[in-house]
Structure formats: structure tokens, C-alpha cells
Amino acid sequence: MFPDNAFMELAHRLAGKGVGKTSPNPAVGAVLVKDGLIVGSGWHRAAGLPHAEVEAILSAGARSRGADLYVTLEPCSHYGKTGPCVEAILAAGIRRVAASMEDPNPLVSGSGFRALRAAGIEVHAGLMENEARSLNLGWIHWIATGRPFVTLKLATSLDGQIAGSTGESRWVTGEKSRLRVHRMRAENDAVLIGGETAIMDDPLLTCRIRGRRSPVRVVVTSRLDKLHGLRMFSDPSAKNIVIHSAPGSSPSARRLEDAGADVVSIPGVNGTIPPEAILSALAERGIATLLVEGGGKIAGTFLRDGSVDRLVMFMAPVMFGEAVRSVSGWAASTPAEGRRFSISRIRKMGDDLMVEALPVQPTVSKEVR
């Protein structure tokens, strides 16, 4: 029977191996099936390396001829760093193709399906499409908008605090939550914090999972002089971007540049740098997915401007009282003016609770007359 969810589920699991490794390309998985048996499989491992379809064809060899291909994204039909997957599919003699979703990239956008059908190959599109979109949520957003997909991560007490009254934050949440944060870092192109958090915590912001990449580290600050000597600028394992609001160059900026940082000056508005300008600068540098880790002022600025595309909260079973708020510098005047989210998943992480949520677009109410 064609298509079959079980084979596509395997393709999705394979695609998941590439999450956080393929940017600026999507994570894609593929499975080749012949006479009900899997004869080849593969996933896109990194930009510039063979796409998932080609990996599957190479693993199947001559068994590709007459096989059915299950792939999580429409095969490409254009030349980039690698050749078109459509040509590889035709050359391999594959007879049928099931894909989870059409590629939203304007360079493809249905042309792969059309080329396959024109060559006489049966094409089924839309198998597990929702799962495919979830797998590449950030990449799809980047293709559609041209700006990074922003995940705001908050690690809080039950009463919404990110540190004790002294500013001490190690550790609010447990080990399993912190391990998940390291995975989130590996899955994003960059991680962003504010200057106050950088100075107080002196974090490395690397991924401590063996074999996983560390993200680009971004610091947004108005005090360049306070960043000298921080560990992230003496650690060569990841690239650093410093975004500040001071006009022109300065000795502090030059010192950070000498330490390898990309120092970007963006004019501030009412004492803060607009998230839109930050995201534009990062998009110009190839950042498609961004993890915002804090602190409270940065979280408040991104929430205030509606620049959060996904919220992930880790809540520890502890109360801090009047301590350091997870969101500051912004307040909704009424409940109706709050940033509303729709909870998509709740998971236990050891003793903690992880809540994932997506923003709800505001609706305009109509007065009944």
C-alpha cells in the first residue's frame, strides 16, 4: 500500500538527527522501500553535504530501481551547493515518491513535484505534514519572513523569578532541565543574552553535549567596557557577536574585535535596541534560529515588541518571593494587552516542568449593535 505512515515516521526520525546541524538548510530524512522492505535510508547531515534523498539512494544502490521514496520535504529541483535531488531520483529509477510537505523555498515551491510528475513518477504530498512543519518550524519561518525564528527560554521558580534577591541563579532548575537547554543551544544557530546577564553570570553559552555544535553567542549591551575579560571572549569554540548602541567605534569595541568578536552598532530607541533591528543584523549574518536566554530586560523587550515566536519555560518547584523577575521593563496595562500564548506541550523534566507555547495572534473584537 502506498503511502505508509510507518515508513514516513522513520523518515522523520532520521530527519531529527540533522536538527541544529543543517542550517541554513532544513533537516530532512528519507527512506527507500521496495516490496515492503526498507532498502535504503539517509538524512541531510550538514549544508554542502548530500541531501537526504541522495543519501538514501547511495545506501540502497541498485535496489533503488523500482522503489518507493518517503521523504519529509519536497525534493529540490535547482542547483545549489549540491545537484538537484529530482535528477538523482530519476537517474535511480525510483517509481513513486511520498513527501510530507511542499518546500516553501521560492527556488523550489512545487517545482520538484511538477518535475517528478512530468517524468511519470507518482507523487503523494502531505503525508504527516504537521509533523514536518514542526520539525523545521524555525527554517520555515526564516524562509517566509527573512528574519530568525526566536525561541525565548525562561528558567524560573513557580512564582516567576529567575534568581534570588542577590542575583544568584545557580541553579534554579534541575539537571534534566539544564541538559535540555544544552540541546536547545545545539538546535539553534545563535543564543542571545543581555549585557547585565553576561557580566553577572559570565556564562560560556556553549553546548556541553559531546558531538553537538555550540551556537553563535550574541550579547546585547550598552556597556562595551564591562565585557572585557569575560570567559566567552577567551574561548575560541564559538563565534561571538556584540550588539551595542554606542555610536561609532571606540577603544572598547576595538578590544572586543581584537578578541575575535563581530561588534555591531545599532542606534537605541528610548534606551533599548529594538528587537527588529537586532534580528535584521543577525539575519544578515546567516542566523536563521535564535535562542534568547535572558535576562529579564531582554525577555521583556522581545515580548513587548511581539518578537517571540516560541516560548519555552522550565519551572522549578520552588518559590523565591521578591527576587529577580523573569520579565522586566515591560508590563501589560490590562489582561487584554498581555502577550497571550497557546500551550503546545507540557513535559516533566525531573522535578521541573517544561512548558512549550506558541504566540496567539490577537483578534479584533467587533462590537455587537
Active site residues: 53
Task: Give 23's contacts (C-beta < 8 A, 6+ positions apart).
Answer: 47, 139, 189, 286, 288, 289
> How far is residue 23 from each of residues 78, 122, 261, measured CA to CA in Å?
18, 30, 21
Structure-block grid coordinates of residue 209? 553535549
Helix segments in 110-249, DSSP class H: 111-118, 129-135, 137-145, 175-187, 195-201
Gap between the Cα atoms of 152 and 135, Å rounded: 18
Which runs of E-coded beta strand occur in 158-299? 161-163, 190-194, 216-221, 240-244, 262-265, 289-294
Rounded to 5 degrees, φ, ψ at 89 are -65, -45
Question: Quick check: helix, strand or coil at residue 72?
Answer: coil
Nearest in space to 127 (alpha carbons), one of 106, 100, 105, 92: 100
Q: Say which residues have a Cβ less than 8 Å from residue 65's Cβ, sequence separation at least 6.
A: 92, 93, 94
The sign of the torsion formed by the CA atoms of 34, 37, 40, 44 equals: positive
Contact 184, 159 (CB under 8 A): no
Name the nearest CA neighbour of 30 among 121, 104, 100: 100
- Burial string for 85-119 (b: 16+ CB within 10 Å, else e) reads bbbbbbebebbbbbbbbbbbbeebeebbbebbeee
